[in-house]
């Protein structure tokens, strides 16, 4: 089956979604990670909250993956 130009544009859009969500997640984890480590250095009781806040930005990349998967499922 030959692919047309629309399929190529959808594939590029899926790649942009994945790159954008991965970069946003990396930036969010950088900011949250620095704050969490600083808070845990002052008070060890904040370890659990720090771990939870480190996991929350991962949802950004999961949503990006879901959107990219939905876009790529439209190609076939």
DSSP 64: H
Question: What number is the average pLDDT over the span 35-62?
Answer: 92
Tell me the pLDDT tens digit for each residue of 58-75.
999 999 999 999 998 887
Domain limits, the chain: 5-73
DSSP 46: G
Reported confidence tier of residue 2, pLDDT bands at 50, 70, 90 = low
- Which CATH code, of 3.30.1490, 1.20.20, 3.30.70, 2.30.30, is assigned to 5-73? 1.20.20
What is the rounded CA–CA span in Å between residue 18 and residue 56?
Answer: 17
What is the rounded CA–CA span in Å between residue 73 and residue 66?
Answer: 11
19's tokens: 């790159």
What is the rounded CA–CA span in Å between residue 23 and residue 45?
Answer: 30
What is the rounded CA–CA span in Å between residue 47 and residue 69?
Answer: 34
18's tokens: 């994945």
């Amino acid at each position: 089956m030959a692919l047309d130009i629309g399929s190529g544009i959808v594939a590029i859009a899926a790649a942009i979604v994945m790159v954008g969500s991965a970069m946003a997640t990396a930036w969010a984890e950088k900011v949250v990670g620095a704050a969490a480590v600083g808070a845990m250095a002052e008070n060890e009781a904040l370890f659990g909250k720090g771990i939870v806040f480190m996991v929350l930005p991962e949802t950004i990349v999961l949503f990006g993956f879901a959107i990219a998967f939905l876009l790529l499922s439209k190609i076939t």
